A and B are shown apart, each in its own frame.
Chain A
Amino acid sequence: MDALLQDLRYAIRALRKSPAFTALAVVCLAIGIGATTTIFSVVNAVLLKPFDFRDPSALVEISDHHAKSEARGLSALSYPNYLDLSRQAGSFSEMAANTGLSMTLSDGQEPERFAGSVVSWNLFSMLGVRPVLGRDFRADDDRPGAAGTVLISNGVWQRRYHSDPAIVGRAIPVNGRLCTVIGVMPPGFRFPARQDLWIPLTPLHAADARGDRTIGAFARLKRGVTVDQAAVELKTISARLAQEHPDDNRGYTTILRTLRESYNGPDVTLVLIAMMGAVICVLLVACANVANLQLARASARHREIAIRSAIGAGRGRIVRQLLTESVLIALMGGVGGVLIAFWGLDLITASLPPDNLPYLLHWSIDGTSLLFTLAVSVATGLLFGLAPALQASRGNLQDSLKEGARGTGAGGRRSGIRNALVIAEVALSLVLLVTAALFVRSFFALQHVDPGFDTARLMTMRLYLPGDVYKNDRVKQQRLADVVRRVEALPGVQAATASNTIVFDGGGSSDGIVADDSKAAPGEEPVLPYTGVTSHWFRTLGVPLLQGRDFTDSEASESTAVAVVTQSFGRKLWGKDAQPLGRQFRLRTDSAHHAFTVIGVVPDFKLNGIDAREPARWAFLPYPWVPARNNGITIRCAGDPARITNLARRAIRSADPALPVFGTLTMTEQRRLSFWQYGLFGSMFAVFGAVALLLAVIGVYGVVAYGVSQRTHEIGVRMALGARSEDVLRMIVGQGARLAGIGIVIGLLGAFGAGRAVASLLRETNPSDPVSFVVIAMLLTATAILASYVPARRAAAVDPMVALRDE
């Protein structure tokens, strides 16, 4: 302990003696450790940190999967299937259900729409979360005919009800129905995504048909039961249900995922792994840089180290002393890194669209992050300190003690390590920069992707039809037609339309589509999306009709069995060369077997999002076939669409003041929001790449400059032998360029691998995009030459007289 304190004292003294070196090393490491801590904090929040529930590892999400489904392979359960599963499955101690529902509070204040959830009474107790005020749902709240009850989030309680404890027991209108507030949930709790209100499930869904797939289920595994065992049981039960209810369940398999998997798709995990890889690269580059600085410093200190050896310090003691200095520097870098990480996390949060992440994913610099930083700092100190420490302690004692002696052998080894470190820095920088370039190219390519319609001058907004008054589908359809009519009558509006679906924003339904010539067994038909639209939908969007015609006003307002389909929808149903016009199809779950006649075909426009890889295989039906409470209004304006917002809001309120309007965005903003993540990935990789490049430039400069300082005498000899300034310049720049060249070749191989690894995250960009590879390689070469040029100029100015001076 005493020796350690002594080492620490010496280390502090040694670092204070070289403030420039210490500052540069600390800054380099702070950048590397800061970037690593920032991304680790995100990774920790998203992938590692246990959710704040009771025994969260036992929680799973249960979904149905249809082999022919287009909608990412997963679908909700129907209420009857959920009940059967919860009764029959023995793998779970509990099963609970929920489904999202927009909820409007109209309690005398301005009506306000909230994201809500309809939940089975046992959901929160299964999660192990209790209200902080009032009580949880009870079984008798969750039965048909029960009096209305509601749980509210802490945020709503504070903001809307000013934290009034008397709110518990008060009846408030939720979607027009009076519900008694029975409790307030804990601060921050907004399960499952960003919900604010929760009402019981059974009163709303008890009458659901087996084909209505609207329920999401969560369950808790019994102690000792594994996910795989539970999955096998669910598969068996779903096969039995498919036999018992073939019309509704054939083709479906029930699957389960851990809660973690359900929150993080494979893309999220891949992005975070890629980001973590990127920051580790930055950290390694920083380590390489500091190791290089240490090596240069060790050369300058070889005499001091030789004296320590001469007076009896063993090699281990000297290595320990030097490592203490390295770890001390790294710890100082770690402190700086934590400060950078605070800023970095704020930056990432600010870069995300608001309300885009589930509330469970909340990142901060917590104890785990700090422990990680401490571990990384110590490991970093050992990593960059070990090689220089071993080198420094290996010097020839006799040579070192002679004034001015030059250890040519050790110098050669040291320069070998320095060169290798710079090569590694350049290679890692290139990998990061090429990956950044691929993401940036994806982002720019997506900006220029033709969505198939004119996104300019379009405004979108959502409105919700709340309350018992809109239970009736006819009333919904009439209200919506009224709203569209009022909006279309506004000055500056060219056309308006309504649908549950807003382009790029989502919506719609999906079902098994039975073609008129379908030979598929029931349940084996393709599951494709469809949506209901009011008239003028295609005209408002500016989507041209390739064949046939648009809906007439009377078709769009009545339940006429006609449809407009995209080209790919037609191809999927009737084959590549078939003519869909005039053909018919049915929705598998439509018990009345209505046959929809295709009256028009539109091109495959980018309805699912600008970054969608698959063509949009959609069918559009007259609105009355798919009425919804949550509707999107799309408005084409003559001028700036933002100017229509207030007028449109007023027009909607004039139709019914209780209608909440939300999600007001121009189509250009919707478009941008559909691929913002590529810009974020690109800019984050670009920042990491730029930092690595800067560090690599410093590394190249440092190595070349140090080489020049060590070779002054040799350069003098060369000049005495007739080398001209340009010969020396070429030699020194060549040295830097050679190191960069080797690093670039290795980096190109690494970047090729990195491109393959992130290929699934790229859009409209080849992972081996030659432009990105060539431009970045050229940029790095030019930068390395520039970094070498400065010390090369100094070398070219060496006075050849030094050749005559005594060494």
Chain B
Amino acid sequence: MIAMTEAADRLKGSLAPLDGPQRELKKPTGQTLIKLENVTKVFYTDEVETHALSGIHLEIKDGDYLSIAGPSGCGKSTLLSILGLLDSPTDGRHWLKGQPIETLKLSERARIRNREIGFIFQSFNLIGDLSVQENVELPLTYRGMSAGDRKGKVSDALERVGMAHRARHLPSQLSGGQQQRVAVARALVGEPSILLADEPTGNLDSRNGEQVMELLRELHRAGATICMVTHDMRFSRHADRTVQLFDGRVVEDRAEVR
């Protein structure tokens, strides 16, 4: 059953443009969105110090499509969690839209996370007890938006990822590819300044992986700023720029040649 509906969804996805003609393209401003200056992150376990990040300098501009690549354990996810305000650096400076982040209280960080950042996780992280619609609605609920306003935005986001017809389903009734598209809808429903994707294709087969990458590409074309962590070189090439990490340090920061 899932296989058949999935096939239909894929067909639908390939026929319907992700960012339809009715949607106006957001024009990137090119202004600095995120800036990291000499950021380090050290984990302390018992008597062992682990330097996950050392001296990271990074600047992400509005409209960038950035890929953070590197081998397992090089600090990609740590960097992403700092960019996503899920974690704080041990040392160094961190700005988002010119605002220093280090001094913010937990509740302010939660508010910024809710409004400025959209997360796409490797394992989708949809909440099993909530329907597709409720999952996508969640960031707006935390924003205190009225039910009427939420409804329009949710259906808009689901349409953008081609999942509007699955709004009442539970995540367990969807395939992996479909679940990740719902997760993308949830990430972009609040119109964040940046989408942070952590190995978005890691739990998908290559065909579904390609589809999700195509989806991200479409979103970027429509003006979204994206920062993606991946260890798969095939997918990192979808980005315009690749930051290569090794042992917690940036060893290369290059623009992709198309």
Contact = CB atoms under 8 A, between A and B. Distances in A.
Nearest to A408: B128
A639 B42 CA distance: 83
Contacts of B127: 714, 717-718
B155 interface: no
A807 interface: yes
Interface string B179-218: 0000000100010000000100000000000000000000
Given A722-B111, A722-B114, A724-B142, A804 B81 contact: yes
Interface in B83-136: 84, 86-87, 106-107, 110-111, 113-115, 119, 121-123, 125, 127-129
Contacts of B190: 722
Nearest to A721: B139
B119 A803 contact: yes
Contacts of A801: 81, 86-87
Contacts of A11: none
B142 A806 contact: no
B172 interface: yes
B123 A806 contact: yes
Nearest to B114: A722
A722 B81 contact: no
Contacts of B106: 724-725
A720 interface: yes
A337 interface: no
Contact of B114 (A717, A721, A726, A803): A721
B86 A721 contact: no
A774 interface: no
A727 B121 contact: no
Nearest to A717: B125
A719 interface: yes
Contact of A803 (B86, B142, B143, B172): B86
Nearest to B144: A727
B175 interface: no
B140 to A, nearest CB: 9
A451 interface: no
A724 B107 contact: yes
Contact of B143 (A412, A717, A722, A800): A722
Interface in A725-764: 725-727
A464 to B, nearest CB: 78
A806 B77 CA distance: 11
Q: For this complex, into which size category does the number of interface residues on chain A fall?
A: 20 to 34
B110 A723 contact: yes
A409 interface: yes
B86 A800 contact: yes
A671 B195 CA distance: 79
B40 to A, nearest CB: 17
A722 B106 CA distance: 10
B76 to A, nearest CB: 10
B107 A725 contact: yes
Given A718-B138, A724-B107, A408 B172 contact: yes
B154 interface: no
Contacts of B198: 804
Given A717-B125, A723-B142, A724-B142, A804 B110 contact: no
B204 to A, nearest CB: 15
Given A714-B127, A803-B86, A806-B122, A721 B80 contact: no
Nearest to B80: A804
Contact of A722 (B113, B121, B125): B113
A717 B130 CA distance: 13
Interface in A245-273: none
Contact of B86 (A718, A720, A724): A720
Interface in A333-387: none
A409 B172 CA distance: 9
Q: For this complex, into which size category does the number of interface residues on chain B fall?
A: 20 to 34
Contacts of A719: 110
B138 A803 contact: no
A408 B127 CA distance: 10
B246 to A, nearest CB: 20
Contact of B186 (A714, A721, A723, A799): A721
A412 B129 contact: yes
Interface in A779-805: 799-801, 803-804
B86 A804 contact: yes
A70 to B, nearest CB: 66
B138 A721 contact: yes
Contacts of A803: 86, 119, 121, 125
Interface in B138-155: 138-139, 142-143
A409 B81 CA distance: 30
A720 B128 contact: no
Contacts of A714: 127-128
Contacts of A409: 172
Contacts of A412: 128-129
A714 B77 CA distance: 19
Contacts of B80: 804
Contacts of B129: 412
A714 B135 CA distance: 11
Counting chain A CB atoms within 10 Å of each CB, the highest count among B77, B110, B127 belongs to B110
Nearest to A807: B123
A720 B172 contact: no
B103 to A, nearest CB: 18
Contacts of B186: 721
Contacts of B113: 720-722, 800
A474 to B, nearest CB: 91
Contacts of A720: 84, 86, 113, 119, 125
A770 B81 CA distance: 55
A409 B111 CA distance: 33
A774 B79 CA distance: 54
A727 B140 CA distance: 13
A712 to B, nearest CB: 12
A418 to B, nearest CB: 14
Contacts of B143: 722
A807 B129 CA distance: 17
Contacts of B84: 720
B114 to A, nearest CB: 2
Contact of B139 (A722, A726, A799): A722
Contacts of B86: 720, 799-801, 803-804
Nearest to A415: B129
A803 B129 CA distance: 17
Contacts of A717: 121, 125, 127
Contacts of A408: 128, 172
A412 B170 CA distance: 13
Nearest to B129: A412
A189 B165 CA distance: 85
A717 B80 CA distance: 15
B119 A721 contact: yes
A722 B119 CA distance: 10
Nearest to B122: A806
A610 B113 CA distance: 69
A313 B107 CA distance: 51
Nearest to A720: B119
A804 B128 CA distance: 17
Interface of B: 77, 80-81, 84, 86-87, 106-107, 110-111, 113-115, 119, 121-123, 125, 127-129, 138-139, 142-143, 172, 186, 190, 198
21 contacts: A408-B128, A412-B128, A412-B129, A718-B138, A720-B86, A720-B125, A721-B138, A722-B115, A722-B142, A723-B114, A724-B107, A725-B110, A801-B87, A803-B119, A803-B121, A803-B125, A804-B80, A804-B81, A804-B121, A806-B123, A807-B123
Q: Which 8 A-B pairs have the closest CB atoms?
A: A722-B114, A724-B110, A717-B125, A722-B142, A408-B128, A800-B86, A721-B139, A722-B113
Interface of A: 408-409, 412, 713-714, 717-727, 799-801, 803-804, 806-807
Given A722-B114, A725-B107, A804-B198, 13 more contacts: A412-B128, A713-B125, A717-B125, A718-B142, A720-B84, A720-B125, A721-B113, A721-B119, A722-B110, A800-B86, A803-B121, A804-B77, A804-B121
